[in-house]
Structure 1
């Protein structure tokens, strides 16, 4: 059985990795003034942060159109897919998941010839990818659609992301701040820690005054979630800051820590100097 996996570019998967795993990635669009770029196609992570630093205006993002999803779904059907599992960024952060559902639902019935499931991961960036890569591997090993959905739902429920921002300015200007607006009074003097709640919405956790204090607190929170099945980071434009975070995490965690890049679709709303820490709790966690 050939079950094909579809996601969007907020998962921050490189084109090489997507090809190797057999994942189809639908790009969001990133706009610098009137110039439109397809996330991770026309604009890689390095180029994006360079343009962000030089831009006088905050870029904006746009979810993919249902037509783009339909084009991908029909292509996969033509290529012999037996089913499609389309897994996307939190619906609290983007309309991408809804666009995927709308795309499939609006296809003529005679074209919907295979089973289809759209899933809201309630996660973003590497917090989406660390499970997505396993789903793709299981699909390639012959797992059923029902098995893939059950695996993904269980693992996403055990996934937590902590995000340390250098500033709240980009979150505020990008309109994705939600209840994190309570931090704005001290915006310039803190390195806020944010997370996503069970519904996938941004919520504030704490407001450390320095990056070192923020990283130390993140490490402490990691210990509170142990035992872990996986730990990873997602860094924006600074490998140095990413290395600092990894070094702090290694004081409390002895396992491997994978490093990923925050791409343009997410970086637009978080800005430079951002670090995400992704924890997947073990099933043995009480």
Structure 2
């Protein structure tokens, strides 16, 4: 089935995967005080994170406008699948839905479906990969939607973060937990709760202990990993992603493992050294 995949900029993909999947990324806008950054390929991520570190106020993000999504829908296939951030974490899903409604008023020969990832970052990447995979063997858009929705409900997303202050400042995590973790050098392992929000999974005193628990958390999901793809997303620290990859390869047998660098939106909350995995 010929189709086009559209995603917001929380869908972390390599340039090679963007080209292979034919994904069009619609960027969110990042805000530090009165300075705005477009979360696209031109964003200097290292500079942005330095600015964020030196800004006392919490970073803000703005979802793409319906007009921005509508521009991305134009495609000769007339079959559009859109992947967005969890609707519980961002207004991006609702913006994309409104865009689809408006677009279909004048383009009734199109098929457009908006997928709520119920997560972010690596999970969105997984969903885009699954859409691409299924589009090669399924001709009916509605059948693909059903299978992808089932797939989304089974995705596991976990985060290992050095710094959770931005999550707390933006209401994504209890600020008391963040303060205690910072004061005691406790590293938190967080995860998507399956309903689109973030939950605390485990904690470790110091990075090394947390890293080991993060690895062990994969087995504790009780899944058949041989039929699953693992996406590892990292913020700037590629060596951490590579180390995690090597440990995973020695312990588990995933069908495939993909490593991607996080963009601006994901990095805003994961921060320097953060790791996000989805499988």
TM range (shorter): 0.7 to 0.9
Who is 1:283 aligned against? none
Give me the whole-angstrom Cα distance separating, in 2, the residues matched to 1:118 and 1:278: 20
> What TM-score results when the alignment is normalised by the length of structure 2?
0.87
- What is aligned with 1:205? 201
The answer on 1:103 being equivalent to 2:99 is yes
Partners of 2:278 and 2:245 lie apart in 1 by 12
- Are 2:180 and 1:183 equivalent residues in the alignment? no
What's the offset of the Cα at 1:32? 3.2
Does the C-alpha gap of structure 1 residues 254 and 185 become closer, same or farther in structure 2, counting only changes over 3 Å?
Answer: same
Partner of residue 118, structure 2: 122
Q: 1:254 to 1:144 in 2, by over 3 A?
A: same
**Secondary structure of 1:207's partner?**
strand
Deviates more, 1:154-163 or 1:238-247: 238-247
- For structure 1, the 5+ residue unaligned runs are 280-286
The answer for the alignment partner of 1:282 in structure 2 is none
- Does the 8 Å CA contact 2:85/2:116 hold for their aligned counterparts? yes
Q: Following the alignment from structure 2 to structure 1, what is the Cα–Cα distance between the partners of residues 276 and 202?
A: 15
- Residue by residue over 1:36-88, the C-alpha shift from the partner in whole angstroms, topping out at 9 and shown as x without a partner, is 22212331544543544455554321100111112222x22xxx223222221
Tell me the residue number matched to 1:174: 170
Q: Is the 8 A contact 1:65 1:99 kept in 2?
A: yes
Match of 1:236 in 2: 235
TM-superposition CA deviations, 1:96-130 (whole Å, max 9, x none): 01101111223472333322211211121111112
Over 3 Å counting, the alpha-carbon distance change for 1:116 and 1:277 in structure 2 is closer
Contact 1:172/1:181 (<8 A) preserved: yes
2:140 aligns with: 144
Segments of 5+ residues of structure 2 without an aligned counterpart are none
Q: Does 1:94 align with 2:97?
A: no
Matched residue, 2:68: 68
Shift of 1:277: 2.2
Contact (CA 8 Å) 1:45, 1:262: kept in 2 or not? Answer: no
CA drift of 1:248 comes to: 3.5
Q: Could you say what secondary structure the match of 2:236 adopts?
A: coil
TM-score (norm: length of structure 1): 0.85
